[in-house]
Structure 1
Amino acid sequence: MLAALLLVLAALPFYVDAQVLKIGSWSMAAAVGAIGLTLLVGTAGQLSLAHAFFAAVGAYGYAALADPEGPGWPSVAAAIGGVALAAVAGLLFSPVAARLRGLYLGVASLGLVFIGQHLLKNLSVVTGGVNGRGIVPFEIFGFQLSGASPPFDIVGVPFGAQERLWYLALFSVIVAAVLARGIMVRRPGRAFAMVRDNQAAAAALGIDVQHHKAAAFVVSSAFAGGAGILSGLAYAYLTPQNFGLPLSISFLLMAMIGGLGSVAGAVIGAVIVTATPLLLESYASRAGLLAAGGSGGYDAATVSSILFGVLVVVLIVVEPAGIARLGARAWARVIRPRAF
């Protein structure tokens, strides 16, 4: 089933328009960040509202390192550098993360978002200030994976920027999912879970509690940096408004809706939270079912907020583990052998 799903996703650029591909690329970029947050919140049990800050560090780090008028690094090296910068930012905050937990950690991490907004708006030499800055397309050996150069087509289907970016985002989600799953099922993930469930018992078993709490924050920050880079490539432009508090709340909402601690749930939650308002804006507003943004009435953003609020309440009441657990229960009923 997984192979079939990947095959369908790989074939979509041949059959859907650029608008759908753009929404899909944004959703997959968000999924990378949501995977990192579910690893932090669900597996390690640490609340963070700073994901937008680390996403900004990754995005602006890539843009600065790949800038031809600056260091001019190759895209792959600049992307690795952007992710590394986000991880370093998480490492610098890790002493705080190692000593706090729960709501206190959430409030402390929230301060990073406000600090980040101030820096993004005032470090105009690097960030472009309030107006933002452009971002160099991702390319390998002169072939752009987030641009349209050089032009080419496959079986008569032109592959422009959106088609190429779709495959880059899909590859990134697969890599992020594999890495996160590997962490969860191996010793680090088991240590994270032990620290989450009972810090005293974890310490008694020889687990360095503060070290593992800090490590979880660093790893999650690296995922957020990757998400920021993908988002920047999808938007083709970086502005401080794209990395504010609403983004951090959206990441947390993705993890909660999908199911904390579930990689597949994080991807599902990211698609729901990211794609729903965009699809409503693109199709329902165009059909006259919703008001246009800023014209009064119920626009796509308002309806999406209502839907997400209702969905979170329903999931907390019905299945706190999120959509992933509901899907697993439904699948178990389907494949469960009948008793004779």
Structure 2
Amino acid sequence: MPMKIPTLKLAKRIPEILREQPDHRFKARELAQLIRERHPDACEAKLHNSPSLSTERDLLQQIVAEIGSQRPAMQRACEEIRVTDGRPRQYYWATKSDAEEAGQENLEDVGEESATASGTRPKLSEADLYPLLGEFAYRELGVDAMRIDERKGTNSGAAGTNRWLYPDVVGFEDVTVDWDRDLKLCVSQTGDARARLWSFEVKLRLNRANVRECFFQCVSNSSWANSAYLVAVEIGDGTLKELRTLSQLHGIGVIQLDPENPTESQILIPTNVRSSVDWASCNRLLRANGDFRNFIKKVRQFYQTGDRPETWDLLPDD
């Protein structure tokens, strides 16, 4: 009889954790870490049986994303589960005695969000988001980020063509960072990939009017990369459902960026990781854009020396 593979069953595990500490509010990442600690067998099975997951960080991000996607169903099944409206969302267990108070707190959160929407938050430009994304990528994903300026690309067509060729931000991830030295040397001889290349398309907001254009812009300018994400600060009502449908077809992930606390940004939809880089596309891009050429030079440096390049323009200062 084949051995049964353990599963996480988040719809059961999350209520268990929240019920144990009814006065504590958990971020999705904190819940994911507890799940990892309490159910190591199921987590190991998920890690080894999912082609898109290769590291512990990938696993935690996937669990965080699944907690977010299953949240509505969990709340329908268990009315005691409450989630704050502000970002980052916090999950907690509301007893009947404090349900009224919890409802009032949620109303206050909504009021705060309304104030933000009406202009309390400083007005941001898309360019302001690049270093914030760089901080999130570095601290939470282990990715070194670099800006690609499409204006430096050869103008080979109509105005605006370059935005379909070059992403706003590219990233480099050393997947061997936690490996034993002997394993690194072994893999360096086999020719297998030791780095993962990322592509990010950044927008201030996604809504029903622009979501498809923005999404397919990301599809177009990220076809060369292992991992690709569409990044936005604001995602309008009903837009996430459309993004999930498009992502299932094209494998693009979605990140909601928190400009006030970048490390609390959330991967709402994980990307489908491609096993290889499209080097022919990279060749075309680097010939036409100096920023992209510099990016590939850094990747080459890593493969030549085994050392992670240190100079990246979107790294945090500390």
Greater relative CO, 1 or 2 (CA 8 Å, sep 6+): 1
Bigger fraction of residues in strand: 2
Superposed pair shares fold, TM > 0.5: no
Bigger fraction of residues in helix: 1
